[in-house]
Structure 1
Amino acid sequence: MNKTLSIHKRNAVLNSMKELVKEHAQTILDANKIDMDSYDDSDLAMSDRLKVNDAKIDGMIESLRQLAELEDPVGVERFSFTHDNGMQIYNRTASFGTVMIIYESRPDVTIEAGGIAFKSGNKILLKGGKESINSNLAIVDLWHKALQDNDVSTEWVEYLNYNRAETQAFLENPTQTLDLIVPRGGERLIEFVKQNAKCPVIVSGRGNNFVYVHKHADVAMALDIIVNAKTQKVSGCNAVDKVLIDNDLPNKAQFIEDLLDRLAAHNVEVLGDDSLANYNTVKQIENDDIWYKEFLDYKIVIGSIPHTLAAIEMINKYSGGHSASIVTSAQGAAENFMASVDCGAVYHNASTRFTDGFEFGLGGELAISTDKLHQRGPIGLQHLVTNKWYVHGNGQIR
């Protein structure tokens, strides 16, 4: 399967899949109910990601609609050059070939990430978790119908119903060509893939995102941003886990009280450093290791910081390299923060919850990469390509 499908065929399959998801939404919901009934709810984030409802179905449909309308990412000219000897040299985007996506709990990945990989001209190998097997198989059945309806081989979308041992064996000795692997899940899954894979891996790592409330912050805005980033979806890797408050924030004590009240209304457990020791509802952190942790739960750590430079240094030390936000009316402080914080997405006066391929206008995302090669942050359609060189001559030799 070396030949990339035409863009007409790829878009036709995506449009067929969109209509099939609409038509068979109840089939997906019924399959997901079996998965949900079998899950023990031991992990809040996992349970939230596993559940499919009408809103998630709508998101799947919209992702497919957007993908079908986006420009073809394959064959885009990135560079051209005429050599002194007359050769014409071009660099154009190209498909990877076969992309394997290993993921936990999220059935919407079967559509969103699968759709991005397919539109990018790649064959897709989907390896979902056992907890979402019924949901995933129901969606893959629709993928196969969409392919068949357009006279395209179902080999373009393949589901690997492997256990852990079978998955490890496949990673170590693939039975087919494998060009790229994207693991989406917890740190244990990512480490498992990195240890066993024999081809490039794009790491969609931990969040552990920070909000820094600068001394010139609009405090009402800061409260809204923090509460949204923490509570709007706690299972999201773009949710906030840490808040740093500038020591020189005017009426800082009142701001902290207001923040604690707002978080308490959402039943968020608050841990704090020594500067919050006088607040009865705040648990004192036991050691600095807590600053490294991603919670994916109704839990947050709040601390004080002397200035912007210290906030930048702390974020760069402890965060997962995902997202960080500064709340301030001082443009210079914002620009310094955004240029210096080592995260894939940096924000000024906005919630970290927007770090998302769909929200960034990418038509969804394959993953949110915390690596720096070859793409950082949300990996959308135009990023899931490699490149190749085209050189036209008329007999030149060197």
Structure 2
Amino acid sequence: MKLLSSETKNKVLDSMVSIIDRERETILEANKKDLEAFNKEDQALYDRLVVNDTKIDGMIKAIEEVKNQEDPVDQDISDITLDSGLKITNKTAPFGTIMIIYESRPDVTIEAAVLAFKANNKILLKGGKEALNSNIILEKCWHEALEKNALSKEWIQLLHLKREETQEFLKNPPEKIDLIVPRGGERLIKFVKDNASCAVLISGRGNNFLYVAEDADWEKTVKVIINAKTDKISGCNALDKVLIDKRIPDYENKLKELQAVLTQLNVELVVDYKVGKILTEEEVIKTQDIWFEEFLAMKLLIAEISSEDAAIDMINKFSGGHSAVILTENRALAKQFMQQVDNAAVYHNASTRFTDGGQMGVGAELAISTDKLHHRGPLGLKQLVTNKYYVYGDGHIRV
């Protein structure tokens, strides 16, 4: 796709804001059809599927925020002139064509597309069948905005593919795809990695851990755990595991206090056998596999840990590489933890719920990357470009 001016791209986004606002009722009606057809037993997925006026306001805000950000394309990264006189400039450049595969959330159809388009990428959207009606109307809005500004609908396309067709598409794409981002559970990620024939950037599972150090402020600890666990169970930044240092003062009473607070909030608890000796009425873990599990539910595993080093080892072994927290008043201890834990985001005395593009100052995000190449963490506008070298000579030859 050709390079577009910032003015042209921003005009499309202005049009899109007006169109979405105008089509509120149509979007809500389409989403209602999706919700009526959905099995509500999967509460986390159902929550992600819901579109309401607040969600539509969020879509509009995301578009406006991206429009107001500086165009990330054709920005100088470095500019040097060698002794030979050869001038070498490294600039940002679009990826080309990005494909995103995602489950439920219709707002991804807005956020992913607005980011890709502003970064001058074509985007192929493969949403889940559960959000089909919602995604179709949102795609129509995009196409109207593009055509209103004399641009091809090819910039933003919703793919209508079944599982077998998606598998074939990944193996033998009908056009060149430069990057695929699977955004969902482990089965989806494995499916894409097993079948894709181009670069895959992983938006991995959550399975986020929190370590309560020996000197942690207990009031802060309870506050952070409650927020990280209960604020939004469907978020990949929700808390799943709590490791409590056995050396904390009044250990048993604090465990019982935490149990009482979480139980009152309808959080199901699972405990290791050591904590189970104190919280005798709670379910004790039956298999080590649970340590790898992302719950996406009002469920929390609480375990005893002997030290910060043991907590770091546990997190690096079992977590999804997403977010981890230490509760401590010791800054040196926090620094060591944050340096040693191999996660995309590490926190000192704060909730994992902040691992989000908007909360981290990135704005709208394509996904939270748990990969290390080319970027880790929220994938915002600045992260949806690659780079390109411009080399200027005057008959230079290498000798």
TM-score by length of 1: 0.98
Deviations 1:80-137 (A, max 9, x none): 2111110110101100111111111110000011111111110111111111000000
Residue matched to 2:222: 223
Structure 1 residue 108 and structure 2 residue 107: aligned? yes
> 4+ runs of 1 displaced by more than 3 Å?
none
Q: How does 1:9-20 map to 2 (within 5 A)?
A: 9-20=8-19
Q: 3-state DSSP class of the match of 1:28?
A: helix
User: In terms of mean alpha carbon deviation, does 196-205 or 20-29 score higher?
Assistant: 20-29
Q: How does 1:237-276 map to 2 (within 5 A)?
A: 237-276=236-275
Shift, 1:287, TM fit:
2.5
Shift, 1:42, TM fit:
3.0
Shift, 1:288, TM fit:
2.1
Q: 3-state DSSP class of the match of 1:174?
A: coil
Shift, 1:243, TM fit:
0.1
In 1, Cα distance between equivalents of 2:39 and 2:307: 45
Deviations 1:218-258 (A, max 9, x none): 11111011011011110111000000111111122222122
Residue matched to 1:320: 320
In 2, Cα distance between equivalents of 1:86 and 1:126: 45
Structure 1 residue 375 and structure 2 residue 375: aligned? yes
In 1, Cα distance between equivalents of 2:146 and 2:253: 59
Aligned length: 397
Residue matched to 2:91: 92
Deviations 1:5-53 (A, max 9, x none): 1111111111221222222122111100100000011322111111112
Residue matched to 1:68: 67
In 1, Cα distance between equivalents of 2:139 and 2:132: 10
Residue matched to 2:336: 336
Residue matched to 1:23: 22
Check whether the contact 1:270–1:281 (CA below 8 A) recurs between aligned residues: no
Q: 3-state DSSP class of the match of 1:114?
A: helix
Structure 1 residue 394 and structure 2 residue 394: aligned? yes
Q: 3-state DSSP class of the match of 1:134?
A: helix
Shift, 1:275, TM fit:
2.2
Check whether the contact 1:357–1:363 (CA below 8 A) recurs between aligned residues: yes
In 2, Cα distance between equivalents of 1:267 and 1:33: 28
User: In terms of mean alpha carbon deviation, does 238-247 or 164-173 score higher?
Assistant: 164-173
Residue matched to 1:353: 353
- Of all paired residues, the percent bearing the same amino acid is 54
Q: 3-state DSSP class of the match of 1:300?
A: strand
Q: How does 1:49-60 map to 2 (within 5 A)?
A: 49-60=48-59
Q: 3-state DSSP class of the match of 1:237?
A: coil
Letter aligned with residue 327 of structure 1:
L
In 1, Cα distance between equivalents of 2:333 and 2:175: 51
Q: How does 1:120-159 map to 2 (within 5 A)?
A: 120-159=119-158
TM-score by length of 2: 0.98
Letter aligned with residue 45 of structure 1:
A
Letter aligned with residue 20 of structure 1:
I
Shift, 1:54, TM fit:
2.1
User: In terms of mean alpha carbon deviation, does 153-162 or 275-284 score higher?
Assistant: 275-284
Q: Where does structure 2 lack aligned partners over 5 or more consecutive residues?
A: none
Q: How does 1:174-253 map to 2 (within 5 A)?
A: 174-253=173-252
Q: 3-state DSSP class of the match of 2:161?
A: coil
Letter aligned with residue 197 of structure 1:
A
Shift, 1:282, TM fit:
1.6
Q: 3-state DSSP class of the match of 2:206?
A: coil
In 1, Cα distance between equivalents of 2:294 and 2:243: 16
Letter aligned with residue 314 of structure 2:
M
Q: Where does structure 1 lack aligned partners over 5 or more consecutive residues?
A: none
Residue matched to 2:33: 34
Deviations 1:263-308 (A, max 9, x none): 1122111011122223244211113221111110111100111111
Shift, 1:207, TM fit:
0.6
Q: 3-state DSSP class of the match of 1:116?
A: helix
Shift, 1:78, TM fit:
0.9
Residue matched to 1:291: 291
Q: How does 1:159-170 map to 2 (within 5 A)?
A: 159-170=158-169
